[in-house]
Amino acid sequence: MLFHSTRGKDSHKSFKEIAIQGLASDGGLYVPDYWPEIDLDKVKNCKTYGEIAKLVLPAFADGSYEEAEITSMVDEIWQGFPSRELVQFRKFNNFAVAELFHGPTAAFKDFGLQMVSYFLHRILKESNKHGVILGATSGDTGSAAIHACKGYSNIKTFILLPEGNMSEIQRRQMSTVDQENVFAIKVNGTFDDCQDIVKEAFKTDQYLPNNFTLLAVNSINWLRIIAQICYYFFAYASLNTTKSLCFSVPSGNFGNVFSAYSAYKMGLPIKEICVAVNSNDILHRFFSNNDYSKQPTVSTISPSMDISVASNFERLVYDYYLDRDANRCRELFNAFNSNQLQLDPEIFENKLNLFSSLAVSDSETKNIINYFFKEHEYILDPHSAIACKRALEESNSYVIGMATAHPDKFPTLFNSLNIQITDHHPALKGLKDKEERLVVLPCEYSAIRDFIRNSL
């Protein structure tokens, strides 16, 4: 299997190469040269997420790793889940919730980032190199990266934390990890300031010693998509319904939705993928009205979905709407330049049957949480509640709401709703009593660069 860019100027890349590189050199995103088919009869016999991963991973790693090699790695990749079953399902009358939040940081990002860090560690080790991960976070990505990398001594992780909307729990998840190779760095700037520093740092890695490689942790790394594809197949194997399937996905950067779409392209019979967003509704405006235009981000009670553009969306435009016309895709995204994109209306109209979308305000999100609590004695976190709105609407399909975070991450919200969380997430217990290890630095590129250099 080889990979190429959605913008057509970077191709013939192996699994190992795209694991390290992330973004393609022409500014596009890597996609596989073809969609591998997964045998549904084999899927049906799978009892665990790991068994599914043994069917899915070899198809993408082919050429970099032998099948036997990669299947033996599967048992090592995902760690720190309290039970052997990584995904759990809650079944209701005519819908289900797929709980993706049992990992060590209580959000679904553990799936993707544990996959990425496992392979980064291996690939660096093979070439006697060390990795420096640098990223900025306003929520879950940073803690998933810190927790995924902390056990790998050849990777040092530096995460910049901006001022602002981050909850105390989210901060503590990063600042209380007592490991030499991870650094949570608080800076007195906004998320955008932090992003600017990261961009500056990536322009050159000359400031690092020779055997160090600078690595990004962003949502466009294809390995994250692979890890997420597995749980869509696993839902199919576990829920075993005769009805057609509708997955409803709380969406921000569109990685999780694109994983559902990938599973569809690999043979999973999905009838509908519902793209569920908060008031940051660029994706809803696109799917309902062919209007993909950037607007300022607003802060909501589902902060991990507060985005103004969706970085994985280009993959869908390329594969689904443009039938892999890389020249057209390059034109569209060069012209978009983070402002506005509209597809040829005929193309848009022809592709109306797979995706649906909905946008949910904060007050409606609270209503949905209250409704599920009263009606089903089930507590949804605000991100998952947005997706589960689809389960309350008319449908001939079996709706599966993807639950991406554990409610324990949002104690202030649940206090204000007078909802007592009884089923606590084991990894979040005692977080309040742990000592914080925060580095505080000025919000300046040179300060961050020097700190990194001195910490290697």
Ligand X SMILES: *Cc1c(COP(=O)(O)O)cnc(C)c1O
Q: Which residues does the annotation mark as catalytic?
A: 109
Quick check: 321 and 287 in contact, CB under 8 A?
no
Quick check: 355 and 310 in contact, CB under 8 A?
no
Q: How far is the CB of 313 from ligand X (least distance, A)?
A: 10
In angstroms, the CA 337 to CA 315 distance is 16
Q: Which is nearer to ligand X, 70 or 260 (CB)?
A: 260
Q: Which is nearer to ligand X, 380 or 452 (CB)?
A: 380
Residues 6+ apart with CB under 8 A from 83: 102
Q: Which is nearer to ligand X, 64 or 251 (CB)?
A: 251
Q: Which is nearer to ligand X, 109 or 330 (CB)?
A: 109
Geometric angle at alpha carbon 305, from 189 and 136, rounded to 5°: 35
Q: How far is the CB of 417 from ligand X (least distance, A)?
A: 18
Q: What is the rounded (10 degree) CA torsion for 366, 370, 376, 379?
A: 60
Q: Which is nearer to ligand X, 156 or 224 (CB)?
A: 224
In angstroms, the CA 421 to CA 403 distance is 16
Helical spans, DSSP H, in 377-444 = 382-388, 411-416
Quick check: 23 and 224 in contact, CB under 8 A?
no
In angstroms, the CA 24 to CA 9 distance is 9
Q: How far is the CB of 311 from ligand X (least distance, A)?
A: 8
Quick check: 358 and 276 in contact, CB under 8 A?
yes
Q: How far is the CB of 310 from ligand X (least distance, A)?
A: 7
Six token digits for residue 152: 């790998």
Binding site for ligand X (CB under 6 A): 107, 109, 140, 219, 250-256, 304-305, 383, 404-405
Q: How far is the CB of 101 from ligand X (least distance, A)?
A: 8
Quick check: 308 and 322 in contact, CB under 8 A?
no
Q: How far is the CB of 93 from ligand X (least distance, A)?
A: 25
In angstroms, the CA 30 to CA 25 distance is 10
Q: Which is nearer to ligand X, 219 or 397 (CB)?
A: 219
